[in-house]
Amino acid sequence: MTPSKWFTPLVQRSVNKLVYVPMSTSNCKAQFHNILKPPKPNQTLKKYLDGNNPTKVLLHFRYLMRERTTFNSIDSFTFLFALKACNKKHSSIHGKQLHGLITKFGYKDIVQLQTSLLKVYAEGGNLCSAHQVFDEMPTKNIICWTSLISAYVDNHKPNKALETFRMMQMDNVEPDQVTVTVALSACADTGALELGNSIHNFIRRNGGLKIDLCLNNALINMYAKCGDITTARRLFDSTKIKDVTTWTSMIVGHALHGQAYEALELFSEMNTGFNIVPNDVTFIGVLMACSHAGLVEEGKQHFRSMTEDYGIRPREAHFGCMVDLLCRGGCLKDAYYFIMEMPVQSNAVIWRTLLGACSLHGELELAAEAREKLLKLDPDYVGDSVALSNIYADKRMWNNKMIARNQIKQSRAPGCSSIEVTSGVGEFVIVNNP
């Protein structure tokens, strides 16, 4: 017998018969080796993760933990794949379980696992556990610091993000491109112009820091939201390669500062001159600009164009902008009918916008209707009763005014404001002395 026939040959099925396919000894051994040997656990987990199937990752991880035959194959990479699957599923419960197992297996000192665990907790909004994981890390690199700063930014805690950024600097850890991009986003949310400007100066001085489009967009957004619209526009004009985020940041910046025509001119230039397709945030800026300029019909046209021409489904923010547009234009009944015909549930902010416009124009009937809706959505907000009672007072309907006033169960929340000082952004609250 020749060596090529040492093993039972593989066969191919024809229509009515089996056809012999000769194979070499090495190929034959390889074929049977692949058939009999299952894939390594981590390879299977990676395949599921790359295929965007986090549920299968976690199920297979559970299987590995239960099977004694594969138990010894579990290593730190196995846990890393499982943590990444938790992030994709936004499952903090699985994250807690993995946290315990990581400690049990003796992997708690591996910085990559701890960073991934921090992200799992942050994704679930559990910032206390995320910060605790960070504090327990034996060694912290720039990725660890950036992950914690991002966690606070993503969970709408920009002041904590900036506080962490300063702690990182005090720890003599130099920020990289991603860190400063995230920090600039926190500056934009808090209005910390001085800190944002110092970060910009650091970027200029640091020749090794790569300035890409994402970082440029963060700078434009920061200056625009912090009130320095001139610097934002200068950066925008000097940016050679622009994407939809670049244009949107500048359009929204002009709209926020009441520069409606500049915002609309940019939107037109983006569409016609550069063929950049706008996104849903772009239209928020456009509708805000129309609202501030009192361009009711143009705003309606852009709102229709968003759906008909670009296939963008309006969100709650777009409906709110349209109500604000109609109210500012004095079209209160149109605003009311627009709210009633909205395909999504109207929130308290939308009805409160209508109530405020009714108070300004002395529209009692619609104001009473808006107040009824607000009593169901947000009954404890004092300002709604105050607004309605003021309308009654203007109409000299004193009994109704007293009834509206008597509906107030608690005092109005104290006013507050914030200001940037050298140590950070401070908040000042009015306290009523007893």
Contact 347, 359 (CB under 8 A): no
CA atoms within 13 A on the CB side of 379: 4
Q: What is the mean pLDDT of residues 392-416?
A: 69
Residue 360: Cβ within 10 Å count: 14
Degrees (nearest 5) of the Cα angle 145, 150, 155?
Answer: 135
Give the residues across from 416 on adjacent strands. Answer: 429
Look at residue 173 in the predicted model and tell me its pLDDT.
92
Q: What is the mean pLDDT of residues 144-148?
A: 96
Of 173, 152, 154, 172, the residue nearest 163 (C-alpha): 152
Please check the confidence at residue 328 and state whether its pLDDT lies above 80. Answer: yes
Q: Is 155 helix (H, G, I), strand (E, B) or coil?
A: coil
- Tokens encoding 110: 């591996």
Look at residue 394 in the predicted model and tell me its pLDDT.
77
For 279, 280, 305, the CA distances from 259, given in Å and listed in that order, are 20, 20, 22
Residue 398 pLDDT class (50, 70, 90 cuts)? confident
pTM of the predicted protein model = 0.79
Contacts of 112 (CB under 8 A, 6+ apart): 76, 80
Residue with tokens 């993760």: 49
- Tokens encoding 379: 């009954």
Contact 192, 420 (CB under 8 A): yes
Look at residue 297 in the predicted model and tell me its pLDDT.
95
Among 7-11, 181-185, 186-190, 237-241, where is mean pLDDT lowest?
7-11
DSSP string for 151-214: HHHHTT-HHHHHHHHHHHHHTTPPP-HHHHHHHHHHHHHHT-HHHHHHHHHHHHH-TTS---HH
- Tokens encoding 340: 């009633």
Q: How far is it, in rounded angstroms, from Cα 216 to Cα 247?
A: 12
Contact 333, 366 (CB under 8 A): yes
Task: For each of the domains in the chain, give its residue range(s) and CATH number, in order of start.
Answer: 340-411 (1.25.40)
Look at residue 10 in the predicted model and tell me its pLDDT.
35
For 262-280, the pLDDT digits (tens) are 999 999 999 887 889 999 9
Contact 302, 288 (CB under 8 A): no
| Burial (0-12, 13-18, 19+ Cβ within 10 Å), 415 | exposed
CA atoms within 13 A on the CB side of 60: 24
Please give the single-letter amino acid code of residue 72: N
Residue with tokens 């730190």: 76
Of 81, 131, 135, 73, the residue nearest 105 (C-alpha): 73
Residue 402 pLDDT class (50, 70, 90 cuts)? confident
Contacts of 430 (CB under 8 A, 6+ apart): 414, 415, 416
For 344-372, the pLDDT digits (tens) are 889 999 999 999 999 888 888 898 888 88
Contacts of 231 (CB under 8 A, 6+ apart): 223
